[in-house]
Amino acid sequence: MAFGSFDNKGSGGHTVSEINMVPLIDVMLVLLVIFIITAPLLAHSIRIDLPQVSAAPTQEDPKAIDLAIKGDGALYWNDQPVTMDGLADRLAASARDKPQPEIHIRADRDTRYEVLAQVMGAARRAGMAKIGFITTPSPQPGPSVSNK
């Protein structure tokens, strides 16, 4: 393929200093196909005969603390009323348990942010690591059916 200019000034004896990319792309595609084919072959595993035991595996269910906060600021620890001072003591005692339980916070829609921040701060000061929020999913709008 000849490259040249549209100038009629010279005899056209100059060299083209552009790199032809087509052969490089062809080589790259061939290498890509080779790697795609050989990659699954490189993942080999060693077969080991494991010993058989009759004991069942232990299932350790993580404990969860249900902490509910009503709109007026009332606190409930697993459905039992608790004060903010009592909450700090219970959180400190629960933080020492192994494995540490999770805290599930259910706050009323009308709960002040200040109360929620105090509860979360008390949990952090006690050393609780797993804090989660329980929410109610909003209803998904379904397909509307019209009667004609």
Check the CA dihedral 107-111-113-119 and report its sign. Answer: negative
Residues 4-62 have pLDDT tens digits of: 556 555 556 677 788 888 999 999 999 999 999 888 877 776 776 767 777 766 666 67
Whether the predicted pLDDT of 65 surpasses 60: yes
Distance CA 140, CA 142 (A): 6
What span, in angstroms and rounded, lies between the C-alpha atoms of 26 and 53?
56
| pLDDT tens digits, one per residue of 69-118 | 998 889 999 989 999 889 999 999 988 888 888 999 988 888 888 988 99
Q: Please give the pLDDT value at position 38.
A: 86
Please state whether the predicted TM-score (pTM) of the whole model is above 0.85.
no
Domains of the chain: 64-133 (3.30.420.270)
